[in-house]
A and B are shown apart, each in its own frame.
Chain A
Amino acid sequence: MFRMDILSEDGFARLCKLHIKQENLKINTPAYILPISDFLSKFPSYLNLANKNNVIYSISHYAQHLPTNLDHHLTLCNENTTYYNGVTEEPEAYIPNISSSPSRVCFFFSKQCPSIFFSDEFAIEWYKTFFEEIFSEIQQNPEKFRQLGGFGLIVNLQHIINYELLEPVLREYLDHPIIKEHLLAIEFQGLFDNKLDYSSSINFFFHLKSLLPADVLYIASGNIKPYEYGFIISLGFDAIDLTYLIYSGFSGLYFHHEEEMEWVRKLNSEDDFACVCEFCKILQDNISSSESNIISSEYYALIALHNVSMGLVELDRIRNNIKNGSISTYVEKKSNYSLFLLSALRYLRKTYKNQLTRVQSLNKSTNLPCTSSLSYSNPNVEKFRRSVMANVEPNSETRICIFLPCSMVKPYSKSKSHRKFHKIIRSASRKWNKYISEVIITSPLSLVPRELEEVFPAAHYDISVTGDWDAEELTITADGIVSWIEKLPIDVKLIGFLHGGYKQAFELALLKLKDEKQLYYDYSIVQDNDSFKKLIEESIQSLELNHKKNKVDSSLSREELTIKMLADFQLGVGAGKILIGTTARFLQSRNELYKTIVGFESYGKLQLARYDRSSGHIRLNYHGGEKLKNHSNISVVLNTSDITGTTIFKPAIAKVGENLCSGDEIVILGPQNEYLGIGSLIVNSNTVARMRRGAVVKIRKMKKEV
């Protein structure tokens, strides 16, 4: 039977690999499920549609004749139809009666009779019967069940009105040890059929998912349109069943690119088929040649094939977006196509804000276009804002804090305007430069300290600028500024080179400080270079007067400050200080994308970490990890110190630091909390608890055996 490995996660979305060892088969998710029936097998182009790396077939009878080219591929078999539950008839079995099941077939337990529910109460009774029948059959036939090597489950949610009534019943049964131990795949059938009540579907899925193992193939089926795939996969589904597309096609519903669809009887001209797929070409020829072909079932089959190819393209794009780490922006884009989807995404981002932020990895370097107000709550953006607020401390020596507007070119310091700012600040501040800190005000990131300007998403986001800021932007930004100013000494001089929305946000922040916290700051706002320079010079003069000349200078250097802020941002408060130790500095690598962070201790020079300038991510080296071994919450504790290979699997894990994400740097500790090495997490730390097997940590460097 197949084994499922999670390769990486981005938020709730994930990339997995299904292995079938005996067949030497590997399938990547997000996958699609293509139904195979005798009827559909008659269309050779249908069978050729599938990309072998991403397809899973589904059949409804084990004995069904599979086309030869589909042999040896992962096949889900929804064999049984249990309904002979009568008095004189023996009940049909859930466990198929076959001597040995081939490893490529995963059997699903489902009940097709009664096939629908007329009320939620009926559904609840149905489910009780269903699960009790399954469990009792398994208990009576342990040997037969063992031979299956695991099973799939179909949860039929078509026609369910109130998910809240059904949820406790399902929770009770899905919590069963048999399910926890042997479940391989679960299909939520019709979960997204009711577009008006997306919020209930989301809650229902998350509540049940939290009970189920993580290394289970989550399948969504039912009335799902291609533009919804991204959203559904971003919730944590691994596969989409394409039956709906086929059925729509055969009923004459033609899916255009993106959101539109149209009944084929209304598509009367060649131009209506705005698609270049092979099937649309034939459709176009047909439409121009004769009228009579248009109602034949072969013609409708072409529409079905076109629809499927549309779905496949969509899933390919989603897979790429997860790989790049841009699934959240992709889903934002797609939400423009349907109001229901938009509501769903807004609900998700609002209700599950904390959970989403917690699992959002920032170790990436993809572009982050902020296209709508939805982007304000993009988990990448939210995580950045939160990390800056919670983890990053400004230079404690700051006497003057300069607030600057953002620029289109990223990182900011590369832009023309910021080069100019830099020149002015340097020439005006002279040797007092170290008492000045710069922050950049921007929407929707709120505030970016100069030191973090290369970090994702500060150097990767983009937003359309009109000069007008909406109320939400202003509030979000002002909150960020408030939290930053509060961390500065009370006698700090605030200088803003700001205009328009930037100015409004800055003033709103100061007003908040005044009204809500009774904190008064000395601030000035300028809008031209000359007065900017003058203002800095004046501030420096008053700084000179007040500064005690013979104070011993123990502060961090500029470089150390950057290292400290980067490390704090990424690894939590205090990490920077521990990492730097006595003193540390950057060393430019030959490749200009990287810098090495080198520490200098009394016993010599240590390579602590590598800084990736394209993502702003710090990759710890062995010595860097050793320094951080006691730093809270970035460690993975193992229950054995006997580790070989480059991967640590679930059974060896004793404890994982909380709220870590896939791709995060971690320190590997042994059973007695002794330092073993460093690596990065493959899955989110809250996924680890739900895993039964599979890789958790990718080791970078381990302590050599003594």
Chain B
Amino acid sequence: MTNKKIADLIQEQTQHLRSIATEKIQSFKDRDLSRPVTSWIKEDRLQNEMGYEFTIIFRTCACSWVRSDSAGCTMCGYYNDKGPDSIPQKLILTQMQYAVNKHLSKLEEIQKNGGKTTLKIFSSGSFLDDEEFSPITRLDVINKAIKLPSIDHVLAESRPEFVKHETLDPIIEITGKGSFELGIGMESSNDYVRKTLINKGFTSMDLQHSMKIAQNSHVLVKTYLLLKPPFLTEKLAIRDAVTSIKKAISWGANSISLNPVNIQAYTLTEYLFNNRKYRPPWIYSVISVFQQALSPSIMDKVLILCSPSASGSFRGVHNCHDKSCNTRWLNILNEFIKTQDKKIIDPDHLTYNDCSCWGEYNVFLEYSSI
């Protein structure tokens, strides 16, 4: 089949948009490399209970995939936060120190109250990529992390090609088994969706292989799934996400985070969105995916997460113009994530008819191509 040509066209368009982004980034004043992109502490669902997350988003030289000729994924705009092409590694530690200083008092307070915190090390790239975090920096970061008050869990993200025993084992030696979690952007279990439509660049085989390695190194695996990549209708997107959740579990994921697409700058999704060829998913769809995919046995085994960015806004997951409708449904979603109780999203107990957009959603679901 000539599907390759379609993949090429998607990649070309992504490259084109990325080159515009690159120009834009260069026009920004020098970014302060001694500070992370951002950092925060907030309530979060942990494996067994509610706790806190301490997130640091490091500014590095950007994800290896977007640095390559492929130009990165069609919905990802984190490239826009990148630093210069090479960052002195000591600055990474400075960034961490900055974030720790900022939030130390809060962490101490949590510890005093007996709470637990997960440290999330994000760089919008791969923690295991030596270009972004050199092996020494990586271990320094982990070493610092586990000494912080209330931290009992560390989460980092990486593309599967960097997942190797020789990289993971030293980390586990520091954190201990089961305390280090690796987030992998699986996006979809479907190769066509992942490779062609998302331009993610790896296959399900690669992914399964990496997950095996992680499991063998006693690393917990969290998979990120994308709800509604570009070029899928709402209905297909739901179907894709449902299948992907089931597959991810069968491949051994310990937790699953469903990420509804939000529109990020200089991406193909933004281009489509501006041309009215894309609509971020409905909140109803997120609920629907969970309703269809999750069985009690799954809920016992796996942690289900979903903390959508830009939720309720036009550029993020939303239902209608009505703010109260969005808030109501996001609250239901959050409640479900907090409690991991499927009864909350039981269709028999939800009242759908309150807002006029429920009808619109159902017709949209069936007949819209965007």
Q: Which residues of A contact B (CB under 8 A)?
A: 35, 37, 39-40, 60, 81, 83-89, 112-119, 121-122, 125-126, 128-129, 132-133, 156, 158-159, 243, 246-247, 250-252, 295-301, 304
B360 touches A39 (CB 8 A): no
A156 CB contact (under 8 Å) in B352, B356, B369: B369
B190 at the interface (CB under 8 A from A): yes
A246 to B360 Cα, complex, angstroms: 9
Instruction: Give, as a whole number of angstroms, the nearest-CB distance from A87 to chain B.
Output: 5
B359 touches A304 (CB 8 A): yes
Which residues of chain A have C-beta atoms less than 8 A from B367's C-beta? 35, 243, 247
A86 touching B193 in the complex, CB below 8 Å, given contacts A126-B6, A297-B358: yes
A252 touching B362 in the complex, CB below 8 Å, given contacts A89-B192, A119-B9: no
Instruction: Give, as a whole number of angstroms, the nearest-CB distance from B188 to chain A.
Output: 9
B195 at the interface (CB under 8 A from A): yes
B370 touches A115 (CB 8 A): yes
A89 touches B191 (CB 8 A): yes
Within 8 A of A (CB), among B1-52: 1-3, 5-6, 9-10, 13
B231 CB contact (under 8 Å) in A37, A115, A125, A252: A115
A122 touching B233 in the complex, CB below 8 Å, given contacts A39-B366, A60-B366, A297-B356: no
- Shortest 9 CB-CB contacts between residues of A and residues of B: A86-B191, A114-B231, A86-B192, A39-B362, A250-B359, A297-B359, A297-B358, A250-B360, A116-B277
- 22 contacting pairs across A/B (C-beta < 8 A): A39-B363, A39-B366, A81-B239, A83-B236, A86-B194, A113-B233, A113-B236, A114-B232, A115-B369, A116-B370, A118-B272, A119-B13, A125-B2, A125-B6, A132-B2, A159-B277, A246-B363, A247-B368, A250-B356, A250-B359, A252-B360, A298-B353
Which residues of chain B have C-beta atoms less than 8 A from A121's C-beta? 9
B6 touches A84 (CB 8 A): no
Which residues of chain B have C-beta atoms less than 8 A from A301's C-beta? 359
Instruction: Give, as a whole number of angstroms, the nearest-CB distance from B365 to chain A.
Output: 8
A565 to B56 Cα, complex, angstroms: 94
A200 to B88 Cα, complex, angstroms: 58
B78 at the interface (CB under 8 A from A): no
A247 touches B2 (CB 8 A): no
A59 nearest in chain B by CB position: B366
B136 at the interface (CB under 8 A from A): no
A388 to B213 Cα, complex, angstroms: 88
Which residues of chain B have C-beta atoms less than 8 A from A115's C-beta? 231-233, 236, 369-370
Q: Which of the segments B197-205, B215-223, B306-314, B328-336 contacts the partner chain?
A: B197-205
A85 touching B3 in the complex, CB below 8 Å, given contacts A37-B362, A297-B355: yes
A124 to B192 Cα, complex, angstroms: 19
B356 touches A296 (CB 8 A): yes
Instruction: Give, as a whole number of angstroms, the nearest-CB distance from A271 to chain B.
Output: 22
Instruction: Give, as a whole number of angstroms, the nearest-CB distance from B239 to chain A.
Output: 8
A252 CB contact (under 8 Å) in B356, B358, B366: B356
A500 to B102 Cα, complex, angstroms: 93
Most buried by B among A87, A116, A301: A116
A133 touching B1 in the complex, CB below 8 Å, given contacts A246-B363, A247-B360: yes
A114 to B231 Cα, complex, angstroms: 4
Instruction: Give, as a whole number of angstroms, the nearest-CB distance from B356 to chain A.
Output: 5
A258 to B272 Cα, complex, angstroms: 34
Which residues of chain B have C-beta atoms less than 8 A from A252's C-beta? 356, 360
Instruction: Give, as a whole number of angstroms, the nearest-CB distance from B213 to chain A.
Output: 19
B359 CB contact (under 8 Å) in A84, A243, A300: A300
Within 8 A of A (CB), among B194-253: 194-195, 197, 203-205, 231-233, 236, 239
Q: How many residues does chain B have at the interface if contact means C-beta atoms less than 8 Å apart?
A: 47
Q: Mark B333-359 against chain A: 1 for CB-CB distance below 8 A, else 0.
A: 000000000000000000011111111
Which residues of chain B have C-beta atoms less than 8 A from A118's C-beta? 13, 268, 271-272, 275, 277
Which residues of chain A have C-beta atoms less than 8 A from B127's C-beta? none
Which residues of chain B have C-beta atoms less than 8 A from A304's C-beta? 359, 363
A116 CB contact (under 8 Å) in B272, B356, B366: B272
Q: A86-B193, A129-B3, A298-B353 are in contact. List 18 more A-B contacts (CB 8 A).
A: A40-B363, A60-B366, A83-B232, A84-B192, A89-B191, A113-B236, A115-B231, A115-B369, A116-B231, A117-B277, A118-B275, A125-B5, A156-B369, A246-B363, A247-B364, A295-B322, A297-B355, A300-B359
Most buried by A among B9, B203, B354, B357: B9
Which residues of chain A have C-beta atoms less than 8 A from B363's C-beta? 37, 39-40, 243, 246-247, 250, 304
B180 at the interface (CB under 8 A from A): no
- Number of inter-chain CB pairs below 8 Å: 142
B191 CB contact (under 8 Å) in A37, A87, A119, A299: A87
Which residues of chain B have C-beta atoms less than 8 A from A117's C-beta? 277
Which residues of chain B have C-beta atoms less than 8 A from A119's C-beta? 9, 13
B58 at the interface (CB under 8 A from A): no
A243 nearest in chain B by CB position: B367
Which residues of chain B have C-beta atoms less than 8 A from A132's C-beta? 1-2
A243 to B239 Cα, complex, angstroms: 22
Which residues of chain A have C-beta atoms less than 8 A from B193's C-beta? 83, 86
A250 to B192 Cα, complex, angstroms: 33
B290 at the interface (CB under 8 A from A): no
B278 at the interface (CB under 8 A from A): yes
A133 to B286 Cα, complex, angstroms: 32
Q: Mark B147-164 against chain A: 1 for CB-CB distance below 8 A, else 0.
A: 000000000000000000
Which residues of chain B have C-beta atoms less than 8 A from A60's C-beta? 366
Instruction: Give, as a whole number of angstroms, the nearest-CB distance from A244 to chain B.
Output: 9
Which residues of chain B have C-beta atoms less than 8 A from A114's C-beta? 6, 197, 231-232
Which residues of chain B have C-beta atoms less than 8 A from A243's C-beta? 363, 367
B272 nearest in chain A by CB position: A118
Instruction: Give, as a whole number of angstroms, the nearest-CB distance from B276 to chain A.
Output: 8
A618 to B222 Cα, complex, angstroms: 83
Instruction: Give, as a whole number of angstroms, the nearest-CB distance from B81 to chain A.
Output: 25
Which residues of chain B have C-beta atoms less than 8 A from A250's C-beta? 356, 359-360, 362-363
Instruction: Give, as a whole number of angstroms, the nearest-CB distance from B178 to chain A.
Output: 30
A158 to B369 Cα, complex, angstroms: 9
Most buried by B among A85, A115, A298, A299: A115
B203 touches A87 (CB 8 A): yes
Which residues of chain B have C-beta atoms less than 8 A from A87's C-beta? 191, 195, 203-205
A86 touching B190 in the complex, CB below 8 Å, given contacts A115-B369, A296-B353, A300-B356: yes
B190 touches A89 (CB 8 A): yes
A88 touching B356 in the complex, CB below 8 Å, given contacts A112-B369, A115-B233, A115-B236: no
Which residues of chain B have C-beta atoms less than 8 A from A126's C-beta? 6
Which residues of chain B have C-beta atoms less than 8 A from A159's C-beta? 275, 277
Which residues of chain A have C-beta atoms less than 8 A from B277's C-beta? 116-118, 159
A87 to B190 Cα, complex, angstroms: 9
B268 nearest in chain A by CB position: A118
Which residues of chain B have C-beta atoms less than 8 A from A300's C-beta? 356, 359-360
A42 to B357 Cα, complex, angstroms: 16
A221 to B278 Cα, complex, angstroms: 20
A297 touching B357 in the complex, CB below 8 Å, given contacts A88-B204, A118-B271, A158-B369: yes
Within 8 A of A (CB), among B51-68: none
A113 touching B2 in the complex, CB below 8 Å, given contacts A39-B366, A88-B191, A299-B356: no
Q: Mark B273-311 against chain A: 1 for CB-CB distance below 8 A, else 0.
A: 001011000000000000000000000000000000000
Which residues of chain B have C-beta atoms less than 8 A from A122's C-beta? 6, 9-10
A132 to B272 Cα, complex, angstroms: 26
A122 to B233 Cα, complex, angstroms: 17
Which residues of chain A have C-beta atoms less than 8 A from B354's C-beta? 295-297
Instruction: Give, as a whole number of angstroms, the nearest-CB distance from A193 to chain B.
Output: 11
A251 CB contact (under 8 Å) in B191, B232, B360, B369: B360
A301 to B1 Cα, complex, angstroms: 43
A129 to B9 Cα, complex, angstroms: 13
Which residues of chain A have C-beta atoms less than 8 A from B272's C-beta? 116, 118
Instruction: Give, as a whole number of angstroms, the nearest-CB distance from B69 to chain A.
Output: 20
Instruction: Give, as a whole number of angstroms, the nearest-CB distance from A236 to chain B.
Output: 24
A40 to B191 Cα, complex, angstroms: 34
